[in-house]
Amino acid sequence: MAAARALVLFDIDGTLVRRSGPHHRDALVRAVRSVTGRDSTTEGIPLQGMLDRAILEWMLRDTGMPARAIRRSMPDLVAAAQSIYLRDAVPPLHDKVCPGVRPLLGRLRRRGAPTGLVTGNLTRIGWKKVERAGLRRYFRFGAFAEQADDRAGLVRIALRRAAWRGWTGSRTRLWLIGDHPNDVLAARANGVGSIGVATGVAGIDELAACRPDVLLEDLRALDVEALFT
């Protein structure tokens, strides 16, 4: 298989979809209660740009749970949160898709550019969100919250998976599109081009301070041809 001219990785929340409802947060809270018997909350936690596993750790620290006990519980918490989210009647998210996302994904698909997910969501939660948004068919692979300790680690995993499939080579342009400074920093840590898009909580000025390679109000303004050259 010939390597693609471009590989494009996408964050989910704030990048592909926004204001997707309380089901994700509720699944984390209910998982903590189910596994540990503790009542917790995501209130006061800066959720944007964080990985789900880090959010669960923060929630449990706030209840006074010792670090060792949190580590022991984490595999069960990860499994429970995903199961709860999938059991919930998550509504369709078609109307929550960010501006410009569908046309961009369609153009990348027609140009033969593989697209993947790099997200702070746990695996089954992330795939369920893109499915409910009607975007699942565009994505071939992903790297998810339980697979690395930080977002830069997730980008490394995604790049390895793409290389293993023969999608990347020395001339492949590599891009990460995200709405948070952590996405920009993760791209930079891996030598990947960064596209900051101000469709999430972070404003255009906050993203600009991180100096992404491309900065946009939303993905309607993206020059797709520039991703290939």
Each domain of the chain, given as residue ranges in start order, spans 6-20+93-228, 23-87
Contact 142, 118 (CB under 8 A): yes
Tokens of 92: 């369709």
Determine how many CB atoms are found less than 10 A away from the CB of residue 63: 13
**CATH architecture of the domain covering 6-20+93-228:** 3-Layer(aba) Sandwich (3.40)
pLDDT at 1 (0 to 100): 61
Residues of the chain with pLDDT under 50: none
Q: What is the pLDDT, as a whole number, of residue 181?
A: 96
Q: What is the Cα–Cα distance from 26 to 45, expressed in whole angstroms?
A: 14
**H-helix segments, 165-219:** 181-189, 204-208
**pLDDT single digits (tens) 68-86:** 999 999 999 999 999 999 9
Please tell me the distance from the alpha carbon of residue 175 to that of residue 223, in angstroms, as a whole number: 13
Instruction: Please enumerate in sequence order all residues whose Cβ is within 8 A of that of 224, keeping only pairs 6 or more positions apart, or say none.
Output: 104, 107, 108, 111
pLDDT at 211: 97
